[in-house]
Amino acid sequence: MKSTEAHWGGTVTFLLFLFIFLPLLAVLINVVFPGFFFGKLEYGGFGLITEIFHRPLWRQSLWNSVLLALGSATFGTMIGGALATVRARWNFAAGRLLDTAAWLLLIAPSFMIAQGWVLFASADGLVHQWLGWTWVTSFIFQPSGLVFVMALSKFPLAYLAIVSATEWNVRQFSQAARLNGAKPFTVWRTVDFPLALPSFLAGWTLVFMDTIGDFGLPAALATVYKFPTLTYSIYSAIYQSPVRFDMAGVLAFYLVILLALAMALLFFALRRSRFDFLNAKAVRTVREKPRHAWAYNIVIGGFLLICLGIPIGTSAVVSLLKQMGEGLTAGNLTLEHYSNLFASAAGDHRLLEYVEGLYHSLTIAAAAAVFSMLIGFVTAYVLSFTESRFKSALQLFSVISLAVPGVVLGIGYIFIWNQKWLEPLGLHLYGTPALLVIAGIAGAIPYAVRVQMGSFGALSGTMLKAAAIQGAGVFDRMRHIVLPLVRQSLLMATLASFGTSIFDLALASMLKPANYSLMPLVIDRAFEFSRYGYATAATVVSCLVVVLLIVALQATGRWVFRRLDGKRNQELV
């Protein structure tokens, strides 16, 4: 039995190493041995690493990324913490809307959110043309404004981390403080906040890592505002002439170092303090009705209108306008941008680029979702129910997968899979859709593993041990015992992986085959060439298609589960 468990554990460990850790390792090797992956084994030393302090673009990219990540993590955690504190204590109508909006912002691709802000706040944007507020342009397109925009899109990471930690509480601590005369804010500052500090640190770290590895915001800003970051400079180094793999490798190295420091800070803070305060007296948090619920609804509604309504609403409005500068009038409304998505040019019988790109993106995302779900299922099983010697490696790779940005994976895949010696083996995957599927799997595995680990934690290992005693192998235990009990989480993991894979602009930009259309690239290219109506129409249609597919697949899955349950009940009778 242990031998079989070792085979399963070894297989998924190898896959995670190949898909996630090996590309990261390749980036680090390229810094010390710049020509290693191109047939030149020469030791470059560590001198190239210090070049970042002597080259203005490299240095500015590093500084901008650090500034943006620190500011967004701090401001985003403040917003998320305040909203989570209010949501955990009070029950009001806008609370459910806040939860939904947080998940929408978490799933929505950052480049689409950033494009909405650009169309809203640029010099020829809606706020300037319709309201004449020129100060919005000067406020948004500066470092502090970018921190503001990024914090509004990344705060859900902190919000969800903090609000989930408030499910249980020990009321006697805060009640004792109130009995000694402490005011509500003093109770929160001296009792509630220190106890919730681990969740605040986790939220801050998540926002920092997601911000510093973000590619969508700088890609959208490149059309109107020069703000180089590590991620965008890595992309530029790969797609300039001549190609600068040395520059890309050094910048990716610093990006990895910053992410490692953020994770180390979190682990150090958690290990230095004891926060195991929940005991037998802990009770589930019950939200109370606030005295002025209308005020909470207005404040939360106004906040959501800014962080979600502005970028998404602007894109929807622009997609219906003939000309942005002519206002929202009947004569300026049109559906032409939507018809252009599906209309072919005269004499051209091929599908238009957007339709082809959408089909390719959906196909790749579907394949990545299925494979990431299967790998995540086996990974969660090995981590939860086996004593495999590969568990430590699996834990390490699954944690690393959370922190590796798409641009680092992209350049690592170029180093590994663009090798001449792989051609005779049929494994020269660079420039093929297969590499996009592998990249999609690597990007989706963190979500697939985390979603399934939650449901696996609720299962008792006694059933599996009893089945093993009766001679059931690992595959039979997974198929006949675990799978029926966690099938809902499998469906959610698949849908989450599908939603996150389809809009990955960074990997699509770096790994797309020649003359191969992908939906994120079609939208980004149209936006870059100021075809705002076409870009926004493609954004709206893409989001609607993905949402409808997810809803339909979820409903179909539940219908299938009910049919299976009914059939099983009939067999038992």
What 3-state class would DSSP assign to 273? Answer: coil
Residue 335 to residue 46: CA distance in whole angstroms: 56
Residues 357 and 390 in one domain: yes
Backbone torsions φ then ψ of 283, nearest 5 degrees: -130, 155
Residues with Cβ within 8 Å of 232's Cβ and at least 6 positions away in sequence, in order, are: 61, 215, 218, 219, 222
Domain hosting 142: range is 56-334
Closest to 213 in 3D by CA, of 379, 358, 27: 27
Asked, for residue 561, whether it belongs to a domain, the answer is: no
DSSP one-letter code for 343: P
Residues 257 and 389 in one domain: no
Classify residue 269 by burial, with Cβ atoms within 10 Å: 0-12, 13-18, 19+.
middle
The predicted pLDDT at position 346 comes to 44
The predicted pLDDT at position 283 comes to 52
Residue pointed to by tokens 């995302």: 365
Residues 134 and 240 in one domain: yes
Asked, for residue 290, whether it belongs to a domain, the answer is: yes
Query: Which DSSP helix (H) or strand (E) runs through 568?
Result: helix 532-572
Asked, for residue 443, whether it belongs to a domain, the answer is: yes
Task: Check which CATH number belongs to the domain holding 430 and give it.
Answer: 1.10.3720.10
The predicted pLDDT at position 2 comes to 53
Residues 270 and 385 in one domain: no
Q: Which of 307, 334, 361 is the last residue of a domain?
A: 334
Q: How far is CA 460 from CA 177, 377, 466, in A?
A: 39, 16, 11
Asked, for residue 175, whether it belongs to a domain, the answer is: yes
Q: Spell out the per-residue pLDDT of the chain, length 573, in tens.
A: 555 667 887 888 888 888 888 888 888 787 777 767 776 666 666 666 777 777 888 888 889 999 999 999 999 999 988 888 888 778 878 888 888 888 778 777 888 888 888 888 888 788 887 777 888 888 888 888 899 999 998 888 888 777 766 655 556 666 677 777 777 667 667 766 776 777 788 788 888 988 888 888 877 877 788 888 888 888 887 776 666 676 777 888 888 888 888 877 777 766 655 555 444 454 555 667 777 788 888 999 899 999 888 888 888 888 888 877 677 677 778 888 888 888 754 444 445 788 888 899 999 999 998 998 888 888 888 887 877 778 778 877 777 776 678 888 888 888 888 888 888 887 788 888 999 999 888 888 877 777 777 667 667 677 777 777 777 777 777 777 787 777 777 887 788 788 878 888 888 888 888 888 888 888 888 888 888 888 888 888 888 888 888 888 888 888 887 777 677 666 655
Number of H helices, E strands in the chain: 29, 2
Q: Are 393 and 6 in contact (CB under 8 A)?
A: no
DSSP one-letter code for 370: H
The predicted pLDDT at position 78 comes to 92
Residues 301 and 389 in one domain: no
Asked, for residue 42, whether it belongs to a domain, the answer is: no
Residues 13 and 107 in one domain: no
Asked, for residue 50, whether it belongs to a domain, the answer is: no
Residue 266, number of CB atoms within 10 A of its CB: 18
